[in-house]
Amino acid sequence: MKTESNLEKVLSAGHLAVTSECGPPRGASAQTVVDKAKYLEGVVDAVNITDNQTAMVRMSSFAGSVLVKQQGMDPLLQMVTRDRNRLAMQADILGAYALGIDTMLCLSGDHTKFGDHAMAANVHDIDSIQLIQMVKGMRDEGTFQGGAEIKGVIPKMFIGAAANPFADPFELRVMRLAKKIAAGADFIQTQCIFNVEKFERWMEGVRKMGLHEKCYIMAGITPMKSVGAAKYMKNRVPGMDVPQELVDRMASVAKEDQPEEGIKICLETIERLKGVEGVAGFHIMAIDWEEKVEEIVKRAGLYPRPQV
């Protein structure tokens, strides 16, 4: 074991892990975070706390993670390289670890263009792969990115990264994963999987390079609430691949039955992916639908969560 992370414990014990996410509010209410997180209590092994998701200002991922931790749950601190330079990020890593946060996800972040501060500078002092390297260096070498030694307690983070098997160029996507793993990623959470066939092809490439043995790959799952949501993700969200037949299937049922149809699709996807060699767990991103995660986890046969 590299860390004390609950997620690492679950994964290394060979269980299919489950994570979900909680987006902090666009306000200073601690209660909102607590309320959202409560839906996930006992249902998942770690709760991703997003970092200025879609480049919109929100309560910091750090503060959100601390609030979730205070509820006795395991936060997964997301960190994007868009908003801060390496000094600020390392400072937060030290602070987060000091407050009991031991799991994080290294991302480059959505471009500011998509958010409500399009005029802000995109920092990108380092990229997501260099962030992984930096966190690993802090943990394994006990040094800061600049080379100096970390004094006293060393932050031992279980290091996650994202992968999008559906972005182009497809042939590069396995190599990009290999690079993230070489940089030090311990686990991966993928982009939402709707095009299962394409994901399987990607996993084939992953296995060919033996990457599934070097890193835990958690499949990203998103239940669709409505045909409108399906269309939006298909057409509007960069890097998403929603096949037309899923949109059609959502459209084929009455509006009031669409949420259930969306859940069914997501359960079928989980079932199929359980059979894919190398899939180590599921990351359920129920956007503005956190209350459904428990039902999904239970119906998918992923409940109760193992106590490790």
Partner 1 sequence: MITAERKPLEEILAYIKPFKRILLLGCNECVTVCAAGGRKEVGVLASGIQMSMLKNGTSIEIREHTLERQCDPEYVEELLPMIDSADAVLSMACGCGVQQLATRFKDKPVFPAVNTKFMGGSDRHGVWTERCQGCGDCLLGLTGGICPIAKCAKQLMNGPCGGSARGVCEIGEDVDCAWHLIWERLKALDLTEQYLEIMPAKDWRPGGGSGPRKIIREDLAE
State the greatest distance between any 2 C-alpha atoms of the chain, in Å, as a whole number.
Answer: 61
Identify which of residues 176 and 214 has a Cβ nearer to partner 1 in the complex.
Answer: 176
Q: Is 134 in the site for partner 1 (CB under 8 A)?
A: yes
Q: Which of residues 226-285 bind partner 1 (CB under 8 A)?
A: 238-239
Least Å from the CB of residue 110 to partner 1: 8
Q: Which amino acid is at 131?
A: L
Query: Which of 147/304 has CB closer to partner 1?
Result: 147
- Nearest CB to partner 1, comparing residues 111 and 264: 111
Q: Which of residues 20-79 bind partner 1 (CB under 8 A)?
A: none
Interface stretch with partner 1, choices 56-64, 159-167, 193-201, 248-256 (CB under 8 A): 159-167
The values of phi and psi at residue 163, to 5°, are -145, 140
| Per CB under 8 A, 179 contacts partner 1 | yes
Minimum distance from residue 177 beta carbon to partner 1 (Å): 10
Helix, strand, coil share of the chain (percent; to 5)? 45, 15, 40
Hey, which residues does 279 pair with through a beta bridge?
A: 217
Query: Looking at the chain, which runs of residues are DSSP E strands?
Result: 17-22, 46-49, 75-80, 103-107, 158-163, 187-192, 216-221, 279-284
CB of 200 to partner 1, least distance (A): 18
Of 115, 28, 102, give the one whose Cα is nearest residue 64: 28
If one counts every other C-beta atom within 10 angstroms of the C-beta of residue 117, the result is 13
Binding to partner 1 (CB under 8 A) within 98-127 occurs at 108-111, 113-114, 122, 124-127
Per CB under 8 A, 218 contacts partner 1? no
Can you tell me the distance from the alpha carbon of 105 to that of 183, in angstroms, rounded to the nearest whole number?
A: 13
Check binding of 172 to partner 1 (CB under 8 A): yes
Which of 162, 206, 229, 302 binds partner 1 (CB under 8 A)? It is 162
Residue 129 binds to partner 1 (criterion: CB under 8 A): yes
DSSP 3-state of 8: helix
Candidate residues 53, 90, 133, 258; the one interacting with partner 1 per rule CB under 8 A: 133
Query: Distance between CA atoms of 130 and 184, rounded to whole angstroms?
Result: 10
Helices vs strands, H then E, count in the chain:
11, 8
Applying CB under 8 A, the residues found at the interface with partner 1 are: 81-82, 86, 108-111, 113-114, 122, 124-130, 133-134, 145, 162-164, 166-169, 172, 175-176, 178-179, 182-183, 191, 238-239
